[in-house]
Amino acid sequence: MLNTNPNTSQKKNPALAYLSRLGSSRSVITISNCLKHIAVILGASDIETADWAKLKRNHWTEIKRTLTEKGCSGATQNLYLTAFKTVAKEAWTLDLIPQSSYLKIQALTGVKYERLPKGRSLTGKEACGLLTACDDGTNQGKRDKAMFALMLGCGLRRAEVVQLEMKD
C-alpha cells in the first residue's frame, strides 16, 4: 500500500509536478482524476498526501484489479497506467524512488483490448422508423426527413449533409 506521508507536501510532489507539465486544462482534469483514484486505491486520501516515493511495480497489480472489477475499459486502464508510469518517472527524476523501481514500473505493458468500430449501419426497420418520426407535418419535419433520406439513400455523412446548399 502507498501510505500517506504528511511531509510529502514539504518536498516536491511528483504527481503535482506531472500535472503542472500538462498543456491543456482538460488534460489536467483527466489526469488529476486518475491520480486521485490511484492514490485512494493505494491507501492515501488524495494526491497531496500520497507518498509517491513508495511506488512499486506491484502497486499496478492492485490498481489494475480494482479498475477491472469496476468494469473499466482497456483504454481507461491504459490511461491509468500511463499516469502511474509518468508519476514514477517524475518521482525518479526527483530522486524519490530508486532507478531499479523506476525501471520495473516502466517495463509494465498496457492492456490489450479491442474496440468496436465507431458507428454502424441502420437496419431497414430503424431507417423507416427514423423517417416516420420526422413526419410531424411541420416544415422542419420535412427538412429533417429530406436530410435523413439523403443520408440513407446516398450514404452521406452528417458533416457532408450540413455542407449541402440548395444549388446542390
pLDDT of residue 70: 94
Decide if 138 is inside a domain: yes
pLDDT of residue 109: 94
Residue type, 57: R
d(CA 138, CA 59): 60
pLDDT of residue 9: 43
Paired residues of 165 in beta bridges: none
Decide if 8 is inside a domain: no
Q: What is the pLDDT of residues 11-24, one digit of tens each?
A: 589 999 999 999 89
Q: Are residues 100 and 128 in the same domain?
A: no
Per the structure, the complete domain to which residue 148 belongs is given by 124-162
Backbone angles phi, psi at 44, to 5 degrees: -95, 165
Q: Are residues 80 and 131 in the same domain?
A: no
d(CA 47, CA 27): 16
Task: Give pLDDT < 70 ranges for the chain.
Answer: 1-11, 116
Nine cell digits for residue 157: 455523412
Q: Are residues 133 and 100 in the same domain?
A: no
CA separation, residue 9 to residues 5, 15, 52, 115 (Å): 8, 11, 11, 40
d(CA 113, CA 103): 24
pLDDT of residue 2: 58
Q: Are residues 72 and 130 in the same domain?
A: no
pLDDT of residue 62: 95
pLDDT of residue 16: 95
